[in-house]
Amino acid sequence: MSAGSAVWINSLIQRFPELLEELVPSTGRRLRERHGGGPVGGTIAPVRLHVSDALRDITDGVVELEEAVRERLGLRPATPALVPNRLRRIAGLLDRIDEHPDLAAHVEEETRRMARRCARLLGDPEQMVRLPGRCPACDSVSLRAFPERAAVMCVNPSCRHTVEGDAA
């Protein structure tokens, strides 16, 4: 089941451009300084290398994911596009992706991984996203997705059921 895929994809669509902005020192809002002292003239701060690594990883990941999805669904190869546009195209195929449980699981795992990487780098307070449907454990309408932890959890205090997520 891939109820989460749409959530992770939306999170990536929102936050990938924020990550791009981090590479442009003059216009981007600054990441918290983690190593003391400001950037030294002419050198690239370590945190920025970290960002460019993540951007490359997420870009490659999205391109590969879209190719895999389209190949599996028997569609023609995708035209080149920016990452958020590719993500929107993948989101538009989720109904068809759901017809193939192994593909749906792969899409969910990949988008979850990339959304978490993005969220962790941006380092904002964790955002949670309300999910449709009911908690399988307590039947409340209380499921939320936490991109930073790549987790879907029930926020009913007496339940706290975890639907998915890594212990990390």
Residue 146 CB, nearest approach to Zn ion (Å): 15
155 binding Zn ion? (CB under 5 A): no
Residue 140 and residue 133: Cα distance in Å, rounded? 9
152 binding Zn ion? (CB under 5 A): no
Query: What 3-state class would DSSP assign to 1?
Result: coil
CB atoms within 10 A of CB 153: 21
Residue 143 CB, nearest approach to Zn ion (Å): 8
Residue 73 and residue 100: Cα distance in Å, rounded? 9
- The nearer residue to Zn ion, 13 or 155, going by C-beta atoms, is 155
Per the CB < 8 A criterion, the answer to whether 156 and 137 are in contact is no
156 binding Zn ion? (CB under 5 A): yes
Q: Residues 119-138: x/- map of binding to Zn ion (CB under 5 A)?
A: ----------------x-xx
Residue 129 and residue 151: Cα distance in Å, rounded? 11
89 binding Zn ion? (CB under 5 A): no
Chain residues binding Zn ion by CB under 5 A are: 135, 137-138, 154, 156, 159, 161
